[in-house]
Copies of this chain bind each other. A is one copy, B any other.
Amino acid sequence: MAKQEEKKFVTHITPRNEDFSQWYTDVILQSELVDYAPVRGCMVVRPYGYAIWERIQQEMDSRFKATGHQNVYMPMLIPESLLLKEAEHVEGFAPEVAWVTQGGNETLTERLAIRPTSETIFCAMYSKWVGSWRDLPMKYNQWCSVMRWEKSTRPFLRTSEFLWQEGHTIHETPEEAQAETMQMLEVYREVAEDELALPVLVGRKSDKEKFAGAQATYSMEAMMQDGKALQAGTSHNFGTNFAEAFNIQFLSREGKLEHVHETSWGTSTRLIGAIIMTHGDERGLRLPPHIAPIQVVIVPVAAHKGGVMEQCDAVASALKAAGLRVKMDDRDTLSPGFKFNDWELKGVPVRLEIGPRDIENGVATVFRRDTCEKSTLALDTLATELPALLEAIQKELFEQAKRFRDEKITDAHTLDELKTIVDGGFARAMWCGERACEDQIKELTNASSRNMPFDQTPIGDTCVCCGKPAQKLIYFAKAY
């Protein structure tokens, strides 16, 4: 990739404390995760970025299947009349829909929306497929892209088109729908924390912040290094809202026609943005080993010297046989020093340097990307030691991020306190439950409510905003 390489020699990454936003842009472009597309607000996901997405997909999809979900594919176009059926839903999405009005050379009699989300089309099909309680539950998911005509966009965080998965399920009882909503929130938390090393706060959204058409929305919220929140996944319980609008009825065990209880839940390529902004440092990405497309990169030193390439190849084979994702960097036009920078920028968790002196000593030099520390390991122990080292790195990245986040969550008892806290972290506060207070907080501090944790142990009696009796413990933060 000569053109990029030449560029990299003369560019640098903006320090995070100088301009976090520019740091993000520098990192995603220079690490070749993504590029701007010749279409307003859309992104091109390059091989390295897409490989991370494939890893995330595998972690999610295997859990969806293990919990009894099946994948399907629904059309990307939704007739306007279908989108209009559920009132709140339309109101929420209509302003950001891209409309197809011409097909071939004909002008369409009805506009077609490119799906901003697929509740309406799932509902149309469910109403056709469901007969009796024996047909329930139906637990479907799809992997696709959706389109939301956003005004200001940033790759992975907010783009007009993005990749995601959307689960849509229908159930016999409200209890089952609620259990499903909670189960998928827990699946999301598990993937985020155990695989992506992203500590998240799970809880229920306020009515103001819930999904258009939902009875209740739950989310997981991650904290970025600038102290801002990133909503990393949502799980919705619709109750019978959509079922009533779309007439999805079933014959109950008692022989009565009843509406189904419905859920939906989604995560997207936003998660890649969360990984970058949680773990990245001045040298670029730091990828958690579980989702790193390359876990170990081998850089030969003095590759032209006898035996070096042979030793590197032998190590690569042994590590692959041990189940690791290994890359051998045998590019012969680049210096080891350039390669070191390149793979640090790309966030590969472990780098092995193997040169004549290492071989003489029977070792490899081991560079940990998380701590940027070097050590040595005996060549014949690499295949047994590195899996454990990768697990240690995975754990360390999570713990680091969790410490960082926990230090930046602060209790706010007054609006002034809240305003200061959300300048670089999350405020935990008591709230009266009224939308007026959320609106006022947003206006005064630019922070929005994130979610209400399940552990509602109060930290005071009165609303942080209006001083009236508090109903809920809730997080506020500025958000992506």
Contacts and interface: CB of A to CB of B under 8 A. Distances in A.
Interface of A: 1-4, 6, 35, 37-39, 42-47, 50-51, 53-54, 70-79, 82, 95-105, 111-112, 114, 121, 124-125, 128-132, 134-135, 140, 144-145, 147, 149, 160-161, 163, 333
A333 B70 CA distance: 22
Contacts of A44: 72-75, 125
Which 6 residue pairs across A and B have the least CB separation, nearest first?
A: A3-B131, A47-B70, A42-B75, A45-B73, A99-B102, A103-B149
B95 A128 contact: no
14 contacts: A1-B131, A4-B131, A38-B82, A38-B124, A42-B77, A43-B75, A47-B71, A73-B163, A76-B147, A95-B104, A97-B104, A98-B102, A101-B101, A114-B114
A39 B147 CA distance: 17
A128 B7 CA distance: 13
A438 to B, nearest CB: 25
Give the secondary structure class of A's interface.
mixed
Of A76, A105, A124, which is in contact with the most chain B CB atoms at under 10 Å from its CB? A76
Contact of A101 (B38, B45, B47, B102): B102
* Residue of A103, A132, A160 with most chain B CB atoms under a 10 A cut-off: A103
B39 A128 contact: no
B134 A2 contact: yes
A74 B43 CA distance: 7
A415 B402 CA distance: 77
Given A35-B128, A53-B73, A76-B145, 6 more contacts: A3-B131, A37-B74, A38-B121, A44-B74, A98-B102, A98-B103
Most B C-beta atoms less than 10 A away, residue of A75, A98, A104, A105: A75
Given A132-B3, A135-B1, A78 B140 contact: no
Given A2-B134, A44-B75, A70-B47, A111 B102 contact: yes
Given A100-B114, A102-B99, A103-B98, A134 B1 contact: yes
A100 B103 contact: no
A131 to B, nearest CB: 3
Contacts of A6: 131
Contacts of A74: 37, 44
Contact of A100 (B37, B51, B100, B132): B100
B99 A101 contact: yes
A74 B99 CA distance: 20
A288 B11 CA distance: 54
Contact of A47 (B37, B45, B130, B140): B140
